[in-house]
Chain A
Amino acid sequence: MTTGSIIFAQNNSTVDYVKLAIFSAIKIKQHLDIPVSLITDIKSWVEDTYPDHPFDKIIEIPNDTTIQKKHFHDGTLSSHKLEWKNQLRSSVYDLTPYDRTLVVDSDYLLNSDILKSALDNEYDFQIYRNSFDLAGRRNNSEFVRINQYSIPFYWATVFIFNKNTITENFFTLVAYIKANWLYFRNLYSIESSIFRNDFAFSIAIHIMNEKTAGNFAVELPGIMTYITDRDFLVTIKDTSIQFLLEKKDHPGEYIASKTQGLDVHVMNKLSLGRFIDGGSGV
């Protein structure tokens, strides 16, 4: 039985997701000691630009023709409306070369081996439902349920699955939801018109649970810790990360914070990119 990790990277005009994926892959290898493969629509560009990349395999997918744009904040005072290519996540079942796969977003930074225990167990599908905002004071209800009238929210940011008929059905269902997004969006009263894997996964998990409180999706160990794109990553040293977190009622002002040995979802990709380029993320 083979175990490995997958990171998706589809660049847009401003964010080099491949650069983030390389940084994330190095951390995965360091803490979990498993091979990491990249799924991208620019394989030859990656090989030319990053010849020393850490990937086990680079798997090419067609360019995503569905153009979706969303605001990428860079702290509280700056934002860019950029392309967001996230439509191919459901194809990971067919694309992964591993029997057991850890899928990680390129902006998710491992600083511990907490996911090792999840890779060692037998559950078919593991994902985070519980999360923790490092800022601590923001309303996080959007990450508890997909809205106040509806079903639990799951993070498609990190998940582990075994290849078998059950998970194949799950990813087929995610693809079906994506193909019929307008219908499902309406059925589940989702306000945003943007397709989000988090929503599609949440709906698919709900259906796999027979629309009730089931056990198809097992919670990953620990808790999904995150900063939003209104915060900054300042610097990383070994397993320690320093942040500036949006201050309540004071736009443009921040509170310093630091984590040690904690996996963190850094939603401000622009800030993470600046740090990787060799400086401060601010």
Chain B
Amino acid sequence: MSKGFLLFAQNTDSVNYVTQAYALALSIKFSQHEIKNVSLVTNDKVPKKYQKVFDQIIPIPWFDETTDTALKGEHRWKLYHATPYEETIVLDSDMLLLEDITSWWDYCGNSDLKFCNQITNYKLDIVNDTYHRKTFIANQLTNPYYALHYFKKNRPAYEFYKVLEFVCNNWEWAYGRFAPDEYQNWLSMDLATAIAIEISGMYEISTDTCSPLRFTHMKTPIQGWTPIPVSWQDTIPYVLNSTGKLVVGNIKQNELFHYVEKNFISKRILSRLQELADGS
């Protein structure tokens, strides 16, 4: 059964998501022992140098250039239909995979679909994000993170993604119906996923407290700092060393790191990731 990681990139005027996806793919190449397959879904130009790390570069299906939102997130429900793998782990492009996660594949293999529902800050404390997730709490929704999820190519996952497609395409109605309190006036894949779970009744895909799916989330309000700074990179030291260990604020980060701040992928970090991938 084919397994692989699937990334999505849609560049904006200010952010080159293709470069971020390339950085993530490099990190997958050096950190993973067994499953290193990675494909990219994008309609943007991928430089030749970047192309070799991807198994496949797949155009966004059913793409309509006239549609636009700030996050361009409305296409991400299509990932189920775009994946070339029978088992897929979807990752947000602004992440780095730092350690082997073979055990995640083994665990998730028992399910059709599994969303990450727990995050940590860089101190490795599990965080209940009451800052960004007010509408989830107010409307008693589950707490999925679309940035990290697993699915199989099968009927239950297909049906879930059909519901997610419906929510994404009718998000204002769906938000009004299922998340009216602390109303969020923009389409977020996390909230759309939570509502799709509510509609489909597939609560088990995001309420598994034993699930190993977890990542370090670097949004500054959840780092336990007072006052809250604008940038974590300006607040604590960090280094990606020559053995691929990422140490942030003197704390070595595990497995999956969601750096959030787009300028984190500097020339220096990218060059280090290339060295690590070349040496793996």
Contacts and interface: CB of A to CB of B under 8 A. Distances in A.
Max chain B Cβ within 10 angstroms of own Cβ: one of A149, A151, A152, A206: A149
A152 B123 CA distance: 9
Contacts of B254: 212-213
Contacts of B250: 150-151, 187-188, 206, 211
A150 B124 CA distance: 11
Contacts of A187: 250
B210 interface: no
A210 interface: yes
Interface string A161-192: 00000000000000000000000000110000
A1 B131 CA distance: 53
B252 A210 contact: yes
Contact of A150 (B226, B247, B249, B253): B249
B226 to A, nearest CB: 7
Interface string A89-132: 00000000000000000000000000000000000000000000
A2 interface: no
B124 A213 contact: yes
Contacts of B70: none
Interface string A130-150: 000000000000000100111
A62 B52 CA distance: 65
Nearest to B120: A213
B251 interface: yes
B245 to A, nearest CB: 8
B235 A149 contact: yes
Nearest to A144: B224
Q: How large is the interface on B (under 10, 10 to 19, 20 to 34, 35 or more residues)?
A: 10 to 19
B226 A148 contact: yes
Interface in B238-278: 247, 249-254
Nearest to A211: B252
Contacts of B226: 148
B252 A212 contact: yes
A206 B249 CA distance: 12
A187 B249 CA distance: 9
Contacts of B236: 149
Nearest to B123: A145
Interface in B191-213: none
A188 to B, nearest CB: 6
Contacts of A151: 123, 250-251
A241 to B, nearest CB: 33
B252 A149 contact: no
A216 to B, nearest CB: 14
Contacts of A210: 252
B225 interface: yes
A148 B249 contact: no
Nearest to A187: B250
Contacts of A150: 249-250
B251 A148 contact: no
Max chain B Cβ within 10 angstroms of own Cβ: one of A152, A187, A212: A212
A206 B250 CA distance: 9
Nearest to B249: A149
18 contacts: A145-B123, A148-B224, A148-B225, A149-B225, A149-B236, A149-B249, A150-B249, A150-B250, A151-B123, A152-B123, A206-B250, A206-B251, A211-B247, A211-B250, A212-B124, A212-B252, A212-B254, A213-B124
Interface of B: 123-124, 224-226, 235-236, 247, 249-254
Given A149-B236, A151-B250, A211-B250, 19 more contacts: A145-B123, A148-B224, A148-B225, A148-B226, A149-B225, A149-B249, A150-B249, A151-B251, A206-B250, A206-B251, A210-B252, A211-B251, A211-B252, A212-B124, A212-B251, A212-B252, A212-B254, A213-B124, A213-B254
Interface of A: 145, 148-152, 187-188, 206, 210-213
